[in-house]
Every structure is written in structure tokens, then in C-alpha cells.
Structure 1
């Protein structure tokens, strides 16, 4: 086994899989509305329920956006097997309910992909036939009349294949340590272009097998600290009180690996972080096996 900052890194791998993603630039009339739209539209990661995952890649200043306002880059993801129609459906839901309803917001394409989604059918027609198309800031925009002016979205949004589900587990001596180290890692990952963390610090890693399939994945009980003295199959070390997971999606495997490495380097700087590991499903879920010892 290897060590980083004197913290043990297990000889294991995370199991990631292919996903389809869109990369959107969101702008707004002020910082409060920008944060609301960015956070609301990317909330509730739920690909395990055959829906979608979202994440905020980074925030932009007014010199970095198409229209000279403050903005953000967000990503919306679905499992690749679900295909373009599913991505179009899920992206449209998140834009309609998380961005369009926030005053003064706009959405632009932020992908160089040749593959495109036409936003007229599932978003533009929110104008109920009163919507129109015009060029603004060099982009073909749909203008949707709403009760506070209009909502603008670029007509063609690019999409591409990326890698979902890269992850790092870090064993901690307390919840306080877990949160402090995890917050620092999330902040550090924002420096990596193309990476998002849909769950931020995730407190509930799951497993494939379950006693209740009707509700989807259930708790990964061997790694629950509160079950340590209650079950024979516990894998929680004696002094470990918290095992968070940071899940990473990225535009390619290189980006995911870079973000995983940054996570390890960041969390291991904190006293109370005891061990680094990763979650996998025995090769049953994804085709990408990213070995921790290969990235550190």
C-alpha cells in the first residue's frame, strides 16, 4: 500500500461508467439569482433512478460570459445507455423548473461537440407558440415571453460522452473532520476544467444488492460506523467514525483521474483523515476501472 501525506491509500479501484452530458453557461441579473438557478437546476442527483445528475463546474465573472453578466458552467448527465432522447428530456426538465423560473436568467451552449439537441420542442415551446428566434451576442437564441420579461436559451445545445461515477472514499475520525476535509476537496476540484461533483460530500454510499429493490440502492451496511458493533460483516476500523464519498463526473477519463488525485491530495492534508479508498461494485456496473495507485 502507498501513502500520501502519511495517509494510507488502499490498493483498490473506483468503478466508473459512460454517460452523456450537456455543458451549459447560465447567466443572471445578479449573483443571488445566478446561485439560485445554478443550484436549483443541478440539485437532486438521481441517475440510479434512471433520471439525471447535475453539477456546478464553476462560476464565471462578467468578462468570461457571452453577455457580460456573471455566470456559471453547469453540467447535466444521464447514463449513456439511456441515449440522447433521455438526456434531452432530463435537461429540459431541469432548465424549465430550475432556471427559466428564476428572474433574468439565460442559458447558452458551452460545448464544442458536433452533436446537438434542439431546445425548441421541450423548452422553447414553453412560450406556448408566442416564442421567437433572434440572434443575440452571436448566438441563435429562443426568446420565451414570461411574466417578468423573457427567458432566453440558445437553440442548439451540444452534448457528448463523458465518464460518470469516479469516486474517493476517505475514512475519518469524526464527522467534523469529514466535512472540513471534504469542503476543501470540493473547492479544489472546481479548479479542474470539465469536472463536477454531483453529490458534493456524499454521506450515503450504496451497494448493488438490496433487501428492498422497490426503493433502489440501499445503505452500504459493512461501511456504516454505527453498525460496527452490531454486525459481523463490518469493515469499519475501530477508530473510524465517518466514511464520506466524493463522486466525480468529468468530460473524459483524464479529467476524472485528475479530480480524484486532487481529492486525495487535499483531504490527506487534514488531521483525522485515516485512510483513502474507493467504491466499486465488483466490475458489475461500469467499464472504467480507475486504480488509486495509478493516479497518485
Structure 2
């Protein structure tokens, strides 16, 4: 048995998938509007419904942004099977509804790749033909006239292939412990470039098989603490009252592994954390298998 900080690390692996992502820099005139645009455009992870996942990578101070204003970096992801067209559609939808409508915001490319999406077709034309391109901040920008001035977005944003679905499960003696340990881990993950946690602390891990396929994945019932005395197939230990999951997407496997390792190191420092595990699908769905024992 392997342990970290006297907490058992289960001999298992997480099962992750290839995805397409774009990293974008958002800036705004003030921190309130920045937070609205950042969180609004990345809300509601829903790749299980064949849409997209969004996550906040980090917030930036004025000295770190392209235009010298408060900023953030976000990531938008789709399953790789959806291709460039799916990423373009989902990214445009999130920008139009989550950022463009927030006063005094701008969007810049933050992805280092030769693969490009032209934002004119699905975002620029929100100007209804009155939009124009111009050089601003040493970049080619689309200027969309809006009722509070202008919305600026870089004409070409890049995308690349990364890894979705790295994850850590941690067994706890209470929800209070789970939240405290998880928040500490999320804080550390934000320091790792190229990673994001679309669900943050996820309270409801799911499974593939379901009695209700019309609504998609349903609760992973063997791991629900409230069912441990009601079902024979429960896998919840007697003293465990909470099993959260932290899902991590990353621009490459190295970033995913680094984030998972840091998560383990951070969570296991908290009293009340009983065991570390990970979610997988028996090795049948994900291309990438990241073994916990290899990380420690």
C-alpha cells in the first residue's frame, strides 16, 4: 500500500480523453465586469451533451495583459471527435453570450498554435455587416459596434489538441473536510500553466451505464454515501461521508500529471481525508491512463 502524508493512495488510474481547446485572454475596464465575462463564458460544463466545457485558467493583473487592463485566461474544450467546426461553434456561442454582452470587454488569442479559427463568420458578423477590422494592440482585431461603444476580438484565434478528464477522487469524513481540502487544491492547480478545472469541486461523479439514457450520465450510485446502507453494491467505506471529484483538463499530459500530483500532495495534508482514488471506465473509453502510483 502506498501513502502520502499517511493517506492511502489507491492502486488505480484516471482515464482521460483527447480534446480540442482554445485559450483566450479576456480583458475588461474593471474587475467586476471581468469576473462577469470570465465566469459567464465558462459556466455550465456540458460535453456529455456533445457541447463544450469551459474553465478559468487564471486571472491576470494589468501588467500581464495585452492592453494593460484587468484580465483572465479561459479555456474552451470540445471532444476531439467534434473537430474544428464543433470548437468554432461552441467557442463563438460562449463569446457571443458570455463576453460580448459585458460592457468594455475584449478577447485576444492566447493559444500557441498554427491551427486557426477565423472569428469573423460566427462572432464578427454580430455587427450585422457594420463591423470592421483594424490594427489594435499590434494585432488584427474585429471592431463590432454595440450600444455601449465597441467590442473587440482578435480576428484569428488558435486551437490545439489537449487532454480532457484527468481526475482525482478523495474520500473524506465530511463535506466540510472535502470543501476545505478541495479549495486548497484548486488554488494550487491555478498556478500550473495550461490547466483548468471545469467543475472545480464536483459533487456528483457519474457513470456510463444508466437507467435513464434520455438524460445522459446519472449518479455513480456505488459511491454515494447516502446509499451505503441501502444497496448491496455500495463501495463507500463505513467512516466515509463525502467523495468529491476534481476534474482537470490540460494542454498536454505533463501539465495534467503535474496538476494531479499537486492535488494529491495538497489534499492529503488535510485532517479527515481518508483515501485518494480516481475515476475510470474500466479502460474502455479513454486513450490516456494516468496511474496514481506513478505520480507519487
Structure 1 counterpart of 2:208: 208
SS of 2:108 mapped into structure 1: strand
Deviation at 1:254, TM superposition (A): 0.6
- CA deviation vs aligned residue, 1:225-260 (integer Å, no higher than 9, x gap): 000000000000000000000000000011001000
Please give the alpha-carbon distance, in whole angstroms, between the structure 2 residues aligned to 1:242 and 1:106.
40
Partner residue, 2:249: 249
Q: Residue 171 of structure 1 aligns with which residue?
A: 171
Q: Which residue of 1 aligns with 2:126?
A: 126
How many aligned positions are there?
296
- Map 1:39-50 onto structure 2 (within 5 A): 39-50=39-50
Taking the TM superposition and a 5 Å limit, the aligned residue runs for 1:170-249 are 170-249=170-249
Give the corresponding residue for 1:159. Answer: 159
CA distance in 2, matches of 1:285, 1:198: 20
CA distance in 2, matches of 1:40, 1:100: 11
1:112 to partner: Cα distance:
1.3
User: Counterparts of 2:184 and 2:254 in 1: how far apart (Å)?
Assistant: 21
Q: How big is the shift at 1:284?
A: 2.1
Give the distance between the partners of 1:137 and 1:235, measured in 2 at CA. Answer: 55
What is the correspondence of 1:40-189 to structure 2 with a 5 Å cutoff?
Answer: 40-189=40-189
Distance 2:135 2:286 in 1: 42
CA distance in 2 between partners of 1:122 and 1:265 (Å): 43
Please report the TM-score for the alignment, with normalisation by the length of structure 1: 1.00
Cross-structure match for 1:287: 287
Distance in 1 separating the partners of 2:137 and 2:83: 31
How far residue 111 of structure 1 moved from its aligned partner, in angstroms, is: 1.0
2:25 maps to what in 1? 25
Measure, in 2, the Cα distance between the counterparts of 1:98 and 1:283. Answer: 36
Structure 2: segments with no counterpart, 5+ residues: none
Distance 1:278 1:13 in 2: 6
Give the structure 2 partner of residue 8 of structure 1.
8
Q: TM-score, normalised to structure 2's length?
A: 1.00
- Secondary structure of the 2:44 match is coil
- Give the whole-Å Cα distance in 2 for the aligned partners of 1:187 and 1:123: 33
Separation of aligned partners in 2, 1:290 and 1:279: 11
CA-based RMSD of the aligned residues comes to 0.4
Give SS of 1:210's match.
coil
**CA deviation vs aligned residue, 1:138-191 (integer Å, no higher than 9, x gap):** 000000000000100000000000000000000000000000000111111000
Kindly provide the CA deviation profile for residues 171-219 of structure 1, in whole angstroms up to 9, marking residues without a partner as x: 0000000000001111110000000000000000000100000000000
